[in-house]
Amino acid sequence: MLRKFVNRLEELDILEKLWDREGLTLVLVYGRRRVGKTRLLEEFSKDKGRIFVIFEDKPRGYNFKLLSKKVSDFLGFNVEVNDFPSLFALLKGITRGRVLLILDEFSYLIKKEAGILSELSRAIEENRDLNALVIVSGSYVSLLEREFFSYASPIYGRSDASIKVAPLQFKHMVEWFGSKKIEDLVKIYSVTNGTPKYLEFFSGGNVEEEIKANFFNSSAFLFREAKALLSEELRELSTYLAILEAIARGNTRVTQIANFCYMKENQVVPYLRVLGELGIVRKVTPLFGKRGIYEIADNYFLFWSRFVNPYYEEIEGNFVGAAIEDFERNFNAFLGKPFKGIAREFLMEANQKNLLPFHFTRIGRWWRKNEEIDLLTLNEREKRALFVEVKWRELSEKDAKRILSRLRKKAELIGLKDYEKHFGIVAKRIEGKENLRLAFDLGDFERVFSKIKK
């Protein structure tokens, strides 16, 4: 279900400012597949004369035929383009005004031909007086970051800007789905991570049935997507899948991950580093602490690794009973993890709207041994702290007061003796929250996020 273009105001603003320049301007637009890069470029360029080519995973000759066709359509007569230096020289010689050249999925060319970046770099160097905005876009994140940001790369230093397109935030779910229940939006966001392509598979009606149809069906796109994405970027796929499943099941330290995967600790670390470069896994360190843990940073991969991958062969063979039983029994508990990320976003939005006791400048988590505080915000200059517990549960007023009392005791373990301390709670629903000073539930999410300017 394709919906209207949502958000991306910052990215559009950057591109418009680059368009308003004079001279040759090169910008890299990149991000994982399905995050909406092509849609962003379509939206930006729709009212401009443009050469917009989407390269394919095919030989150079095929892709330059595609490029030649797009250039011919732009110029109004047939031309044959065989390389970038001749293209840039051609455009410089016969065009007036600023030219918009969009080279989408350029990473396919890099994969097929190592020297293509040297060719592009030479085209730029030889045609500095071409008045054009050249946008190079691609989905192989690690490849593009290595090629564009490595000092040894021939294209290093040539680009004027880079835009990494990320999935939508939770606050944009309201704009995407309209008047759907916030609880349903939490569930959708917790399995899609706000990736626009994935959101198109949800209407927001019976969400749990939509999840089953999209993940526990061998012909469904979201069932196969995780493996497809990982296969494009990685070798030793089975090892990476085992590591993701280990983390999804609560094994967050290197020793635990290694034990789950029957590997040695020093063997696991390089794989974690690669997953971190892809933005799938991140290392999190507590405020006032040094020992970090690993977690899956992408809700789609978190859900898929927990509920789909362990049953992949069974689902592929249409034996879905065990997978669905696991999902129905444990999905509500699973939501606690992504809800903490959504609660963090809520606090950051509330912070901008001055809805909290003070304006915080740092936000993170804290843990020590068996004690943990879900969210801790600080203004170190003013010496103020807000401690927050996050619960994906319906709480009575008595429950909430008990949690807040426990939170105060945990806060004493951190120190911060000269800080002004505040204590809050974020939950699915809180009975009697009006009697509590800093208690927020989904009703508050609805009010705060629905006021965000589109």
Residue 157, pLDDT score: 75
Q: For 170-204, what is the HEC assignment?
A: CCHHHHHHCCCCHHHHHHHHHHHCCCHHHHCCCCC
Asked if residue 214 belongs to a domain, the reply is yes
Whole-number Cα distances in Å, 441 to 208, 310, 355: 21, 33, 14
Residues 233 and 157 occupy one common structural domain: no
- For the chain of 454 residues, list the mean pLDDT of each consecutive stretch of 10: 68 95 92 88 93 95 96 95 95 89 94 89 92 91 77 77 91 86 96 94 93 97 94 89 95 96 95 90 93 95 96 96 97 97 96 95 94 96 97 97 96 93 97 94 88 52
* Cα-based distances in Å from 379 to 286, 342, 416, 440: 16, 21, 12, 21
Domain assignment present for residue 184? The answer is yes
Boundary-marking domain end, from 125, 147, 164: 164
Structure-block tokens of residue 434: 């009006």
The reply to whether 355 and 248 lie within a common domain is no
Q: Which CATH number fits the domain that encloses residue 287?
A: 1.10.10.10
Are 300 and 346 within one domain? no
CATH code of the domain covering residue 121 = 3.40.50.300
Same domain, 280 and 385: no
Q: Are residues 91 and 202 in the same domain?
A: no
Whether the CB-CB separation of 140 and 232 falls below 8 Å is answered with yes
Look at residue 326 in the predicted model and tell me its pLDDT.
98
Asked if the structure places residue 402 within a domain, the reply is yes
pLDDT recorded at residue 4: 57
90 falls within a domain: yes
Same domain? For 35 and 132 the reply is yes
- In three-state secondary structure terms, 169 is coil
**What integer pLDDT is reported at residue 225 of this predicted model?**
95
Task: Choose the final residue of a domain: 290, 315, 334.
Answer: 334
Let me know whether 308 and 365 are in one domain.
no
For 81-109, the DSSP string reads --SHHHHHHHHHHH--S-EEEEEETTHHH
Same domain for 266 and 320, yes or no, is yes
**DSSP string of 368-418?**
ETTEEEEEEEEETTTTEEEEEEEEEEEE-HHHHHHHHHHHHHHHHTT--TT
The total domain count for the chain is 3
The two tokens of residue 335 are 């939501």
Full domain range(s) for residue 436 = 338-450
What CATH code is carried by the domain that includes residue 445?
3.40.1350
Residues 114 and 83 in one domain: yes
Contacts of 28 (CB under 8 A, 6+ apart): 135, 136, 137, 144, 148, 159, 161, 162, 163
- 179 and 112 inside one domain: no
Whether residue 3 is contained in a domain is answered as no
Q: What's the Cα-to-Cα distance from 337 to each of 190, 210, 249, 308, 399, rounded to whole Å? A: 9, 20, 11, 17, 20
- In a domain? residue 29: yes
* pTM, entire model: 0.88
Structure tokens at 376: 């801790």
Strands (E), 261-361: 281-284, 293-296
Report yes or no on 267 lying in a domain. Answer: yes
Same domain, 159 and 46: yes
Give residue for tokens 């969009």. 102
Indicate if 13 and 150 belong to the same structural domain: yes
Residues 74 and 97: their CA atoms lie apart, in Å, by 13
What pLDDT was estimated at residue 1?
46
Q: What three-state secondary structure class fits 434? A: helix
- Is residue 1 situated within a structural domain? no
The residue out of 334, 363, 384 marking a domain boundary is 334
